[in-house]
């Protein structure tokens, strides 16, 4: 287990050999690490209270609203780029952001659909709903989720990328996707 903001430094310190933690392969991260082939492109959601009347998540619509995300993530970067007139609140963990939404201290949260879907099925089921899917910005979000490896580990990167390609080709990736996730 590793805090998100220390996950790349720990990889670089040889605490483990690969990061498989829903990390998007962004240009900023590529300055420090290499990435395997993309194996997922997780949808990004904005959620809020069930009482939210509008599904408009434009920066103008959220002006002055408290919008949260986990710090040191692409979601934090997205908010900082596009939602300058909102009250952006960044949290050490996704759970802390979720709790602030649950307790009425946030108006919206932006995060990966995987994390938010679990929250909406659990603690957030009575209070909150998906407001909208966030349009991906390739400059911030990158091409998708991949494994991160040290730049010197080219053989490991190639081995994992080959395995990803094989699971895509033989259909096993799609079978797992269908079993565990209810969207493409």
Residue 182 in any domain: the answer is no
Residue 181 forms part of a structural domain: no
**Residues of the domain holding 18:** 4-41+143-176
Q: 67-91 pLDDT, tens per residue?
A: 999 999 999 999 999 999 999 999 9
Please indicate, yes or no, whether residues 64 and 88 belong to a single structural domain of this protein. Answer: yes
* 135 in the same domain as 61: yes
pLDDT at 183 over 70: no
23 and 106 within one domain = no
How far, in Å, are 4, 10, 113, 123, 167 from residue 97 at the CA level? Answer: 14, 24, 14, 12, 34
Give the model's pLDDT for residue 184: 67
Q: Can you tell me whether residue 35 is helix, strand or coil?
A: strand
**133 pLDDT higher than 70:** yes
Q: What is the mean pLDDT of the chain?
A: 95
Whether 62 is covered by a domain: the verdict is yes
Residues 155 and 132 occupy one common structural domain: no
In a domain, 183, yes or no: no
Q: How far apart are CA 144 and CA 60, in angstroms?
A: 27
**Are 22 and 85 within one domain?**
no
Percentage of the chain exceeding pLDDT 90: 89
Sign of the CA dihedral running 70, 71, 77, 79: positive
- Examine the domain organization and report whether 19 and 77 are in the same domain: no
pLDDT tens column, 42-61: 899 999 999 999 999 999 99
Identify the band that residue 120 occupies on the pLDDT scale cut at 50, 70 and 90: very high
């Amino acid at each position: 287990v590793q805090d998100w903001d220390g996950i790349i430094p720990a990889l670089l310190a040889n605490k483990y050999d690969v990061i498989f933690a829903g990390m998007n392969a962004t240009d900023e991260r590529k300055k420090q690490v290499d990435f395997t082939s993309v194996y997922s492109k997780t949808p990004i959601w904005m959620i809020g209270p069930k009482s939210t009347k509008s599904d408009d998540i434009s920066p103008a619509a959220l002006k002055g609203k408290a919008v949260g995300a986990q710090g040191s993530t692409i979601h934090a970067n997205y908010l900082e780029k596009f939602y300058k007139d909102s009250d952006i609140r960044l949290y050490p963990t996704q759970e802390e952001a979720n709790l602030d939404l649950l307790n009425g201290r946030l108006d919206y949260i932006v995060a990966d659909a995987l994390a938010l879907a679990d929250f909406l099925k659990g603690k957030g089921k009575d209070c909150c709903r998906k407001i909208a899917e966030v349009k991906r910005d390739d400059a911030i979000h990158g091409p998708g989720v991949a494994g991160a490896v040290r730049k010197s580990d080219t053989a490991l990167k190639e081995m994992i990328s080959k395995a990803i390609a094989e699971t895509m080709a033989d259909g096993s990736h799609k079978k797992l996707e269908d079993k565990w996730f209810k969207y493409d």
